[in-house]
Amino acid sequence: MSSEVIFDVAGQKQALDKIEKLMVQPDFWQKDQDEISRLTQERASLRDQVDTWEALQGEAEDAGLLVQMAEEEDDASTLREIRRDVDRLEKNVSELEFRSLLGERDDKRNAIVAINAGAGGTEAQDWVEMLFRMYTRWCENKDMKTRVIDFLPGDEAGIKNITFTVSGPYAYGLLKSEHGIHRMVRISPFDATGRRHTSFASVSVLPEIDTDINITINESDLRIDTYRASGPGGQHVNKTSSAVRITHNPTGIVVQCQNEKSQHRNKEMAMKVLKAKLYERETKKREQKKQELHENQQDIAWGSQIRSYVFNPYQMVKDHRTHLDEGNVDKVMDGDIDMFMDAYLRMKSKSG
């Protein structure tokens, strides 16, 4: 089987051509801004993948011709140089292969990420802040944009819970590997006796729903409450009830947003999160027909952590699903988590 078949270049070219025909229509820029953003982002991603494949294919063909010429001339120096080029090509093809693992319907979407403190008190709240920093560093390295939409500071330090969006190509497809319980073990800086503590935080990752998916919500099913957004104090204290909390009565789902400048924008963002949660709920219902309920729940149940971050008595980050481990904890906490995403996606691909 050729690599071109594996990467479905023909399919990508067809999808790219379809979007580009849409974008040259006179009424394209009059569409909903979210729809324009989604299609523009998808076009850029497809164009990048097609251009990358064609460039690699061209380099591989050139290398093949150079090998033939170098062998005919018995040119050892040129052969060594070609070997270096081939090594680089293999690395680039491996990266392209990784992208091909992101083929599920929602993988291309932006992501909504929520981190909540679990067992561990102040230590767990500090752990939430550390994880938030890890993900924002990862996003910066990927040129992805983040926006905080809800935030509750810790009682003494850290963050009790935080919700933020991540915008960029395949944000959800990559970050879905982070959904679950994250466990930290370290000597707590908040414990005067210097004891070792174990803390937990849950990370929830949802695909942001675009206009291509219709989620119908009846206004009569909603209870909408407004309140003053929390702030740093002083002159920045919010004097109007701009924060919004929405309760979806049929399911009991509660969402809130307080970081936008107006009540209207907060409501708009909260509705976006609600739609994502309702979409996830329906998706899980379909998945449960294929496997037992407890298998789905294990990703988010306390005591079934997906990854452990050990700072003491030794240093190691271990993913319990893929059994991959990394001894450089600082590197991971600085956002270098691609290895875990790669291993998870390859595991999922093999398991079907």
The per-residue DSSP string of 128-157 comes to HHHHHHHHHHHHHHTT-EEEEEEEEE-SSS
Query: Which residues are 223's β-sheet partners?
Result: 247
Calpha distance 13→26 (Å, rounded): 23
Q: Can you give the pLDDT at residue 63? A: 83
Q: Can you give the pLDDT at residue 80? A: 85
CATH architecture of 219-288: 2-Layer Sandwich (3.30)
Q: Can you give the pLDDT at residue 73? A: 82
* Domain range summary for the chain, segments of one domain joined by +: 3-100, 111-212+292-351, 219-288
The CATH T-level fold of domain 111-212+292-351 is Alpha-Beta Plaits (3.30.70)
User: Can you list the positions of beta strands (E) in the chain?
Assistant: 111-117, 145-153, 159-167, 180-187, 196-207, 222-227, 243-248, 253-257, 307-310, 316-319, 325-326
CA dihedral for 106, 109, 112, 115, sign (positive or negative): positive
Residue 20 CA: distances (Å) to CA of 10, 41, 46, 175, 265: 15, 12, 11, 28, 31
Class of domain 3-100: mainly alpha
Residue type, 139: C
Q: Can you give the pLDDT at residue 101? A: 83
- Least Cα distance to 307 among 336, 279, 340 occurs for 340
**pLDDT tens per residue, the chain (352 residues)?**
344 444 677 888 898 999 999 898 888 888 877 788 878 878 887 888 788 888 888 888 888 888 888 888 888 888 888 888 888 888 777 777 777 788 788 898 999 999 999 877 899 999 999 999 999 999 999 999 999 999 999 988 999 999 999 999 899 999 999 999 999 999 999 888 888 999 999 999 999 887 556 677 888 999 999 888 765 444 444 456 789 999 999 999 999 998 888 888 899 899 989 989 988 888 877 666 545 433 443 433 455 799 999 999 899 999 999 999 999 999 999 999 999 999 999 898 877 6
